[in-house]
Each structure stands twice: as structure tokens, then as C-alpha cells.
């Protein structure tokens, strides 16, 4: 956990974004407190607080004084929008490069993507919000 190159607070923020995006953290749901986060992952509380502050700035979380941090209304949609923008550059491009090295043609890729959708992977455009759709 948290052994990537990025500062730990960025990795924590990323993990929470991922949880919101996948619906593991629902909108309006309370997230772990700084203390819980710090003791669960044995990290400096200031590190956890920095991650939360960032997510509040981004509008993913909001703070209710004296109560805690909650997932903001519309956070999932906003995050999905952001992730879509980076999807092609960060996810698809490396796949295309790898395909080129392996000699996989564009037609073959398109074919496989079509088959993937049939095999039960979530089809493009359908929100993954409904639970129970997890593989």
C-alpha cells in the first residue's frame, strides 16, 4: 500500500477518487476520518489531512464541521468526466503501443473490443453505477 513514486497524500487522494468512481463510496456517504485513516494505514495524520484537503478543493468531498468528511453530490459524474479525458492518453495509448510491438492490427483490436463487450465487460456508455454488475 502506498509504495508508488508519488507522495503518499496523492496516492491516498487517488485511492479515494477510485472508490468514488467505482461506487464503493456513495455520494453523501461519510469517509474515514483523518484519525481512522492515519491509524489504519499507519501514516502521519497530516498526510491524510492533506489528501482530504485536496479532495475538498476538487469538490469530491465536503466537510461538515464537527461531523466529518462526506462524498459530494455529483462527485462520481465529475470524476468520470475527468477520467474520460485522460483515458485515451494514459490508458489507451500504452495499449496501442504494446499492440504495435506485438504486431496486433487495428482490425484485430476492434474485433477483440467487440468480443469483450459481449463477454460481459460493461458496454460503453452504460453507467456502472448499478451494483451487482461486478465481475
Partner 1 sequence: MTGYAVSARDVSVRFGDTRAVDEVSLEFAAGEIHGLLGRNGSGKTTLLSTFAALRRPAAGRVLVDGEDPFENERVMEGVCLIRESGDVLELAKIPENLRYFANARPTWDADFADELVDAFELDRRKPVNRLSRGQQSAFGAVVGLASRAPLTVFDEVYLGMDAPSRYRFYDLLLADYVEHPRTIILSSHLISEVERLFAGVAILEEGRVLLAEDADTLRSRGTAVTGPSAAVDTATAGLTVLSTRELGRTKQVTVYGDLDEAALAAARAADLEIDAVPVQDLFVHLTNREPS
14 contacts partner 1 (rule: CB under 8 A): no
Helix (H) or strand (E) run with residue 108 in it: helix 106-118
Which residue of 41, 80, 82, 104 would you call a contact of partner 1, by CB under 8 A? Answer: 41
CB of 103 to partner 1, least distance (A): 17
The most distant pair of C-alpha atoms in the chain lies apart, rounded to whole Å, by 58
CB of 113 to partner 1, least distance (A): 25
3 contacts partner 1 (rule: CB under 8 A): yes
Sign of the alpha-carbon dihedral angle for 30, 49, 38, 34: negative
Which residue of 18, 29, 35, 95 would you call a contact of partner 1, by CB under 8 A? Answer: 35
47 contacts partner 1 (rule: CB under 8 A): yes
Shortest CA distance to 41 belongs to which of 15, 21, 19?
15
Which residue of 18, 28, 45, 127 would you call a contact of partner 1, by CB under 8 A? Answer: 45
Which residue is associated with the grid cell 487495428? Answer: 106
- The CA-based angle 58-42-64, given to 5 degrees, is 35
Residues near partner 1 (CB under 8 A) are 2-5, 7-9, 34-35, 38-39, 41-47
Amino acid at each position: 500500500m502506498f509504495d508508488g513514486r508519488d507522495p503518499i497524500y496523492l496516492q491516498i487522494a487517488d485511492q479515494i477518487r477510485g472508490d468514488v468512481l467505482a461506487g464503493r463510496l456513495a455520494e453523501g456517504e461519510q469517509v474515514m476520518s483523518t484519525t481512522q485513516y492515519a491509524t489504519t494505514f499507519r501514516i502521519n495524520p497530516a498526510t491524510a489531512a492533506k489528501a482530504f484537503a485536496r479532495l475538498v478543493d476538487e469538490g469530491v468531498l465536503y466537510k461538515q464541521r464537527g461531523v466529518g468528511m462526506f462524498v459530494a453530490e455529483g462527485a462520481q459524474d465529475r470524476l468520470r468526466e475527468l477520467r474520460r479525458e485522460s483515458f485515451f492518453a494514459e490508458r489507451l495509448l500504452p495499449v496501442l503501443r504494446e499492440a504495435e510491438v506485438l504486431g496486433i492490427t487495428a482490425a484485430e483490436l476492434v474485433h477483440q473490443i467487440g468480443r469483450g463487450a459481449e463477454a460481459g465487460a460493461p458496454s460503453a456508455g452504460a453507467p456502472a453505477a448499478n451494483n451487482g454488475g461486478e465481475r
